[in-house]
Amino acid sequence: LKALILVGGFGTRLRPLTLTLPKPLVEFANKPMILHQIEALVKAGVKHIVLAVNYRPEVMVALLSKVEEQYDVKITFSVETEPLGTAGPLALAKEILGKDDAPFFVLNSDVTCTYPFEELRDFHIAHGGEGTIMVTKVEDPSKYGVVLQVPGSSAIDRFVEKPKDFVGNRINAGIYIFNPSILNRIEPKPTSIESEIFPAMVVDRQLHTFDLPGFWMDIGQPKDYLIGTCLYLSHLTAVKSPLIADPAKNPFVFKGNVIIDPTAEVDPTAVIGPNVVVGPGVKVGAGARLQRCVIMENARIKDYAWVQSSIVGWNSTVGRWTRLDNTTVLGDDVNVKDELTINGASVLPHKSLSANIYEPAIVM
Ligand code: GDD
Ligand code: MG
């Protein structure tokens, strides 16, 4: 089995984190986003993964050569000289994807779910059509691709990318399986699979839906990244994952859904949870309060700081008695001084904050 992961795009909506790392390498629950997907693909029997990239492959190459060995999977970089959109990369990788008759998976790199690839493949083979897309229900479908079904069938009747008016709330989850014949529809030039290829497949009644069980989130922007983190942590708790910190052994855990890297140092008087991820090498001081937030590698939360609904980037410092809230995102190596209130700020790498921020703002 083969797969292609769409890892291009500039990740601008996940700035300031993506000023430091390409989006697929930004950690989600202490692991690069893309590794969650690679692990799930390998588990489903995928032996060859194509990474379709159009930016900074060097950083990715370094990480992924290790991954190849560790997971016994072949990873090929397919590098675009101009961004080819969400369909063009399939044509660029035609030699690999089309080398036999087996169907292949295609994934957006910024979605989180339980990745039921085996079920998707079985369903796809059973209906015999050219493609199957995973769908999920959302409250606000306007940011996504919406599908409407042929009544009483899994075939799609209409696919509308980012609808301006409400047409339905079942959306494209960004995970597909296709027969190699789809390659006959795509040229190696900038093409949107959602706006150009899917509508053509729909006309031919060759595109089907598979209902994704469980949680799903596009984690490509900070607010959604935090929501996705909460969903994923709840899932880990439900399946009794050993990654979830046991309150019996970690007295500072409050209401659960907490991951704490074993190399983090947390003062026993801190209070952490629910829905918190603490990364490797992080230090959390006395009386600090963390709730619904992500603290990335080597960040420091000083005594009595309060961090809520925010992301603290790698190597950053949150001062004593300082409060972060309302989807504040600190980039790499940001220093927020003591006794400040930061409400909804997005702070670029290497900045130092010494004044309050009361209204959402970008700090450059
Ligand atoms: N290689 C490559 N080249 N990849 C690209 C390019 C490109 O030029 N442009 C975008 N991508 C990748 C992104 O990195 C991402 O993994 C994926 O294609 C989708 O792009 P996004 O920019 O994240 O799209 P979206 O979130 O607005 O919408 C898409 O995802 C939704 C689900 O999250 C669409 O597929 C929607 O239909 C879908 O509902
Ligand atoms: Mg996206």
Report how far ligand 1's centroid is from the alpha carbon of 136 (Å). 16
Q: Is the pLDDT of residue 212 over 80?
A: yes
Pocket test for ligand 1, best of 4, 5, 6 (most atoms within 8 A of CB): 6
Taking residues 202-223, what's their average pLDDT?
95
Tokens of 156: 């799609």
Q: How far apart are CA 351 and CA 97, in angstroms?
A: 44
Buried b (16+ CB within 10 A) or exposed e, 181-202: ebbebbeeeebbbbbbbbbebb
Note the Cα 360 to chain centre separation in Å.
24
Q: Give the residue-averaged pLDDT of 225-244.
A: 97
The pLDDT value recorded for residue 64 is 84
How far apart are the C-alpha atoms of 17 and 2, rounded to whole Å? 30
Q: If we measure between CA atoms, which residue out of 179, 302, 354, 170 comes closest to residue 289?
A: 302
Distance 145 CA to ligand 2 centre (A): 11
Asked if 250 and 268 touch (Cβ cutoff 8 Å), the reply is no
- Residue 271 in contact with residue 255, Cβ under 8 Å? no
Under a CB-based contact definition with an 8 Å cutoff, are residues 224 and 311 in contact?
Answer: no
Interface pTM, i.e. ipTM: 0.98
Q: Is the pTM of this model over 0.95?
A: no
Ligand 1 near 202 CB (within 6 A): no
Q: What is the DSSP string of 167-209?
A: --SEEEEEEEEE-GGGGGG--SSS--IIIIIHHHHHHTT-EEE
* Cβ of 141 below 6 Å from ligand 1: no
Q: Helices 57-71 and 33-43 sit at what angle, rounded to 10 degrees?
A: 30
300-315 tens-digit pLDDT: 999 999 999 999 999 9
Q: What's the Cα-to-Cα distance from 355 to each of 317, 319, 344, rounded to whole Å?
A: 15, 12, 14
Provide the token pair at 274.
Answer: 């629910």
The whole-angstrom separation of Cα 9 and Cα 42 is: 24
Comparing C-alpha atoms, which of 355, 301, 363, 279 is closest to residue 15? 363
Q: Is 162 a catalytic residue?
A: yes
Checking if the pLDDT of 215 tops 90, the result is yes
Q: CA nearest 309: which of 289, 337, 334?
A: 289
Are 42 and 144 in contact by the 8 Å Cβ rule? The answer is no
Res. 65 pLDDT band, cuts 50 70 90: confident
Q: What is the pLDDT of residue 11?
A: 78
Of the listed 31, 74, 137, 162, which one is catalytic?
Answer: 162
Task: Give the strand order in the sheet containing 283-284.
Answer: 265-266, 283-284, 300-301, 317-318, 335-336, 352-353
Could you tell me the two tokens for 331?
């980039």
Closest by Cα among 20, 10, 91 to 331: 20
Atom of ligand 1 nearest to the CA of 145: 37
pLDDT higher than threshold 90 for residue 185: yes
Amino acid at 111: V
